[in-house]
A and B are shown apart, each in its own frame.
Chain A
Amino acid sequence: MKFPFNRDTRRRWIDLTMSIAAFVCVVIAIIPLGSILIEASIRGLQSLSPAVLTSTTGQGGIGNAIQGTLILILLSALVSLPVGILTGIYLAEFGKNRLGAAVRFFVEVMTQIPSMVVGIFVYSLVLELGLIGLGSPRLVFSTISGVLALSTIMVPFVARTSEEALRLVSIAVRESALALGIPRYRTILRVVVPSASSALVTGSLLGIARVAGETAPLLVTAFGNNDWFRGVDQPIESLPHTIYIWATGPYVAQNQAAWGVSLVLVLMMLGLSIASRVVIRLRSVSR
């Protein structure tokens, strides 16, 4: 029996075309990612040395920027993760009412606010508070206001990803815990939250990664500092800030060095992400 050029043949051609198209799109998507990594590695490695990593920007190194970024991330995470995750828990578990809808709306809007606006907002907030005697106008350029700015960006982000993570836990899991006579708060804390833990960790890390690369709000808050960390009430250096200053500076050597700083920032994020995956794997029970 002979088959004419029928729908079946057509279907196979479309299938092949679409597969190729999808593959091409993947390649297009990977090109910028790959080229950033490769470019940063090739150019960055040349300008990195133990001396660079351990000296301050004042001495031509980036040690204080690494230290500053770590401090900013750590403090912002300490503020944002509890607030963000608890907000997420509220929205997912108790937010089926008007207050919940309002909170969800504001969280949504806050994630859309440009980070520069957040920077200016924190700048004026700290300044105004300082002028009426709460704190000091001097704190405008300090670790504290840097952390405030980063947290303002991070809290809504973490709240949203946490809410989504918790919603993925099936109702059946909640019901079977409640049916065991476990009170609701313990069901949430000991059953629902652990069930969503890997998604919560991923969301938190994305939140950290989101703010770790922020430059704009830090320009008007953390400001930058050519020396090591000198206290939370003092300006602080950070990697994105160093990249910004060096990459736009007039000296070719600094432009070169900015690649090294970029590489360090990328590797830090990569390390963070790998570490979290290891933690999740160790925590989950064997199959």
Chain B
Amino acid sequence: MALKLHVESLSAWYGEKLAIQDITMDVEDHMVTAVIGPSGCGKSTLIRCLNRMHETIPKARVEGKVLLQGEDIYAASPVSVRRRIGMVFQKANPFPTMSIYDNVAAGLRLNGVRNRDELDKAVLESLKQAALWDEVKDSLDKSGASLSGGQQQRLCIARALAVKPEVLLMDEPCSALDPIATAKIEDLIFDLKKDFTLVVVTHNMQQAARVSETTAFMYLGKLIEVNNTRELFERPREALTESYITGRFG
């Protein structure tokens, strides 16, 4: 298995408050890694540290290393890191003043791509990858806000894919969606690992079991256990993991 991301002794703070503590884990290439754990355990903070979004919050601070194919992302510029490691958020948030086309093209356009053919191609490809093309191909000039919640989330995924990241981080991408829209996103996650490496935060354990190869369980800011998903759910090594996945707390 090829290693994509290596996280080493990563800790993160919000002001004085320690949110995640001394986390070390690996993310395999072209695999889905799920991060589970109860609310407030630091799952979102962890993945926000993986593309340097954590530091956009005032007074937030990070220590430790995150290596993207051996290269420390904290030694590079945040802008270039975020182009290689994209992110999809919990709530679908298309740019409100932009059309569907412009939303998908935004990442390229605002990074200086002007060539119309290149943009057209990227928009088509990304919308197809995000399984949204057939639903929007006749309304690319409509507002992104005109789509349904599930479509908006797939639009946000297409927008993130358009800049051709290597890794896609997803922060509870389905938590605001109904079961049908959730199923579509899960299918999509399955397809996307052909071309990308994914890290998916979810508070839904069934979802982690369905979509991921590796699962990390976090509790109170610490990484308790990380293992092959099947192993973790069937034969957890830690007692804490077992009581969480069997629903005794959280």
Which residues of chain B are within 8 angstroms of A178 by Cβ–Cβ distance? 53, 56, 82
Cβ B98 vs Cβ A181 within 8 A: no
Tally A residues with Cβ within 8 Å of B.
Answer: 25
Cβ B143 vs Cβ A182 within 8 A: no
B53 to chain A, nearest CB (A): 6
Which residues of chain A are within 8 angstroms of B143 by Cβ–Cβ distance? 284-287
Stretch of B4-12, B104-112, B225-233 with 4 or more beta carbons under 8 angstroms from chain A: B104-112
Q: Would you list which residues of chain B between 24 and 43 have a CB under 8 Å from chain A? A: none
CA of A81 to CA of B242, assembled, Å = 61
CA of A194 to CA of B96, assembled, Å = 9
Query: Taking the complex as formed, is B86 at the interface, i.e. its CB lies under 8 A from any CB of chain A?
Result: yes
Partner of B97, one of A182, A183, A285: A285
Cβ A183 vs Cβ B93 within 8 A: no
B78 to chain A, nearest CB (A): 8
Stretch of B66-74, B155-163, B183-191, B205-213 with 4 or more beta carbons under 8 angstroms from chain A: B155-163
Query: Taking the complex as formed, is B61 at the interface, i.e. its CB lies under 8 A from any CB of chain A?
Result: no
Partner of A176, one of B80, B83, B84, B89: B89
Which residues of chain A are within 8 angstroms of B215 by Cβ–Cβ distance? none
Query: Taking the complex as formed, is B244 at the interface, i.e. its CB lies under 8 A from any CB of chain A?
Result: no
Tally of A-B Cβ pairs under 8 angstroms: 86
Which residues of chain B are within 8 angstroms of A177 by Cβ–Cβ distance? 95, 106, 110
Which residues of chain A are within 8 angstroms of B53 by Cβ–Cβ distance? 175, 178-179
Q: Would you list which residues of chain A between 245 and 266 have a CB under 8 Å from chain B? A: none
Which residues of chain B are within 8 angstroms of A174 by Cβ–Cβ distance? 56
Which residues of chain B are within 8 angstroms of A172 by Cβ–Cβ distance? 89, 91, 93
Query: Taking the complex as formed, is B247 at the interface, i.e. its CB lies under 8 A from any CB of chain A?
Result: no
CA of A179 to CA of B95, assembled, Å = 13
Which residues of chain A are within 8 angstroms of B91 by Cβ–Cβ distance? 172
B227 to chain A, nearest CB (A): 28
B12 to chain A, nearest CB (A): 16
Which residues of chain A are within 8 angstroms of B86 by Cβ–Cβ distance? 179-181
Partner of A181, one of B79, B89, B95, B142: B79
Given A173-B95, A177-B106, A190-B110, A285 and B87 contact (CB-CB distance below 8 Å) = no
Partner of B82, one of A96, A170, A179, A286: A179
A197 to chain B, nearest CB (A): 7
Query: Taking the complex as formed, is A273 at the interface, i.e. its CB lies under 8 A from any CB of chain B?
Result: no
CA of A183 to CA of B160, assembled, Å = 15
List 10 extra interface pairs beyond A180-B83, A182-B111, CB under 8 A. A178-B53, A178-B82, A179-B87, A181-B81, A181-B86, A182-B110, A187-B110, A191-B110, A197-B97, A285-B102
A-B contact pairs, 26 of them (CB 8 A): A173-B93, A173-B96, A175-B89, A175-B93, A176-B87, A178-B53, A179-B87, A179-B89, A180-B110, A180-B111, A181-B82, A182-B107, A187-B110, A190-B110, A194-B98, A195-B97, A284-B97, A284-B143, A285-B97, A285-B98, A285-B102, A285-B141, A285-B143, A286-B142, A287-B142, A287-B143
Closest 9 CB pairs of A and B: A181-B83, A180-B107, A179-B87, A181-B82, A172-B93, A182-B110, A285-B143, A285-B99, A287-B146
